[in-house]
């Protein structure tokens, strides 16, 4: 998640002027405001309460003309997964089925709803368990690090569920001066320790599940921390990448993955576009970060919706000079390797 700070019951009023870490001030509300090149959007009030091999339901496939065969029937190209969205947010209240149906019309055959707190991850799990083609993650977002005490027993419990495919999102956010960095650092360290100490039946650290990273203006701070962990760098994905080509090189040299949102489609996001051209085909993914950051030509719409993954995916193919059919298969292969989710459904 990269935009709009969405509070739970411990909501803190937004101040008219917010100090950045560099001493400057902004009239925007506290984290998480969009990157400078993203359009302003209204902020919702708070998240609501709410098998990897799940098939796309016939109901989702019955309302549109089909063009591409899969294990479940026919759906239109592209066939991709939205690997990062926030279905627990009020923008999608009680509308998950509608969002999945609309996504299927555009060839987006499922999504991962990403957690932000120990309360939110319960809501995310409830949604995931209610829909075959929704999965979830378990973790505490850095911009909620000051909402403690965090119930790590819940984080562990959700992570152990088969419908939870990742930890996170977790990391550091330096865009604003709150939460204080020492608070973010402490929660990040505690969270990484929780993951390290959680073992699968076969003894895999962190249950063998990947880790979704939130890193905003913090590459030089966060990468050394991750390098110090026991985890294989290939288990990390830096979601909603908004850095430069140089930042991307640092991530790639480390060995992690990079995921792009609609930001990469913006005309004034040249740095992000340059970075997107550098990422190897076996380490790139696509997402919406819905309800934020709708891609062109829907920029400025709220909410961004999971189906819009298809717009970003097609833009990336064109940007990288890659044949579209080949690229969407690449994205699907990557989603399956990283999250264990097959965009074509079970048995494909």
pLDDT, average across residues 230-235: 98
The stretch 153-162 carries a mean pLDDT of 98
pLDDT at 248: 98
Confirm if 11 and 239 have CB atoms less than 8 A apart: no
In a domain, 32, yes or no: no
What pLDDT does 93 receive?
86
**Total count of residues recorded for the chain:** 348
CA distances from residue 53 to 59, 128, 147, 188, 255 in whole angstroms, order as listed: 17, 12, 34, 31, 27
Instruction: Please report which confidence band the pLDDT of residue 51 belongs to, taking 50, 70 and 90 as the band edges.
Output: very low
Domain of residue 190, CATH code: 3.20.20.140
Q: Mean of the pLDDT values across residues 52-59?
A: 42
2 versus 252: the higher-pLDDT residue is 252
When pLDDT is cut at 50, 70 and 90, the band that residue 79 belongs to is confident
Domain annotation covers residue 5: no
Q: Tell me, what's the pLDDT at 74?
A: 53
Quick one: what percent of the chain has pLDDT higher than 90? 71
The more confidently predicted of residues 294 and 344 is 294
Q: How many other CB atoms are there within 10 angstroms of residue 4's CB atom?
A: 23
Mean pLDDT for 314-325 is 95
333 inside domain: yes
Residues 203-223 have a mean pLDDT of 97
**Range list of β-strands (E), 181-277:** 211-216, 236-238, 257-260
Residue range(s) defining the domain that contains residue 107? 59-339
Q: Are 328 and 313 in contact (CB under 8 A)?
A: yes
Q: What is the reported pLDDT for 78?
A: 64
* pLDDT band (50, 70, 90) for residue 148: confident
Residue 6 lies in a domain: no
First to last CA, the chain: 31
Closest CA to 332 of 66, 68, 132: 68
144 pLDDT above the threshold of 80: yes
pLDDT at 345: 75
Identify whether the C-beta of residue 200 lies closer than 8 Å to the C-beta of residue 243.
no
Confidence check: pLDDT of 171 > 80: yes
The per-residue pLDDT of the chain, averaged, comes to 82
In a domain, 49, yes or no: no
Residue 248 located in a structural domain:
yes
Mean pLDDT confidence for 268-272? 97
Mean pLDDT, to the nearest integer, of 146-171? 97
- Cβ neighbours of 258 (radius 10 Å): 24
From 72-76, 132-136, 211-215, 267-271, the region with the lowest mean pLDDT: 72-76
Predicted structure pTM score: 0.81
pLDDT at 10 > cutoff 50: no
Q: What residues does 290 pair with on adjacent strands?
A: 85
Residue 314 to residue 307: CA distance in whole angstroms: 12
**Domain total for the chain?**
1
State yes or no: pLDDT of 52 exceeds 80: no
- Does the residue 27 lie in any domain? no
Listed range (64-68, 94-98, 106-110, 235-239) with the worst mean pLDDT: 64-68
- The residue-averaged pLDDT of 220-241 equals 98
Does the pLDDT at position 73 exceed 60?
Answer: no
Residue 260 inside a domain? The answer is yes
Q: How does pLDDT run across 82-122, given as a tens digit for each residue?
A: 999 999 999 898 889 999 999 999 999 999 999 999 999 99
Tens-digit pLDDT profile for residues 179-200:
999 999 999 999 999 999 999 9
Using CA atoms of 276, 277, 279, 281 in order, give the dihedral in degrees to the nearest 10.
110
Residue 287 pLDDT > 80, yes or no? yes
């Amino acid at each position: 998640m990269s935009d709009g700070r969405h509070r739970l019951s411990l909501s803190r009023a937004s101040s008219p002027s917010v100090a950045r870490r560099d001493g400057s001030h902004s009239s925007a509300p506290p984290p998480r405001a969009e990157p400078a090149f993203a359009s302003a959007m209204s902020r919702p009030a708070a998240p609501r309460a709410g098998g990897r091999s799940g098939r796309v339901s016939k109901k989702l496939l019955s309302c549109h003309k089909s063009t591409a065969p899969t294990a479940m029937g026919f759906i239109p190209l592209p066939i991709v997964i939205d690997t990062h969205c926030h279905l627990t947010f009020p923008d999608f209240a009680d509308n998950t089925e509608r969002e999945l149906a609309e996504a299927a019309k555009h060839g987006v055959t499922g999504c991962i709803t990403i957690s932000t707190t120990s309360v939110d991850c319960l809501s995310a799990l409830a949604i995931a368990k209610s829909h075959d083609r929704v999965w979830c993650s378990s973790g505490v977002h850095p911009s909620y690090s000051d909402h403690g005490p965090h119930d790590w027993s819940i984080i562990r419990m959700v992570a152990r569920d088969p419908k939870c495919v990742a930890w996170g999102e977790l990391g550091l956010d330096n865009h604003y001066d709150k939460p204080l960095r020492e608070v973010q650092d402490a929660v990040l360290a505690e969270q990484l320790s929780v993951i390290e100490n959680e073992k699968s039946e076969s003894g895999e650290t962190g249950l063998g599940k990947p880790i979704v990273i939130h890193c905003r203006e913090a590459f030089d701070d966060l990468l050394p921390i991750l390098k110090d962990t026991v985890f294989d760098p290939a288990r990390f994905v830096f979601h909603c990448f908004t850095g430069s080509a140089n930042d991307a090189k640092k991530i790639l040299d480390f060995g992690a993955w990079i995921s792009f949102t609609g930001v990469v489609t913006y005309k004034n996001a040249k740095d992000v576009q340059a970075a997107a051209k550098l990422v190897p085909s076996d380490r790139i993914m696509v997402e919406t970060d819905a309800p934020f950051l709708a891609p062109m030509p829907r920029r400025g719409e709220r909410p961004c919706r999971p189906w819009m993954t298809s717009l970003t995916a097609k833009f990336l193919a064109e940007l990288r000079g890659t044949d579209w059919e080949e690229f969407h298969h690449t994205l699907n292969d990557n989603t399956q390797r990283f999250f264990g989710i097959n965009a074509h459904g079970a048995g494909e």
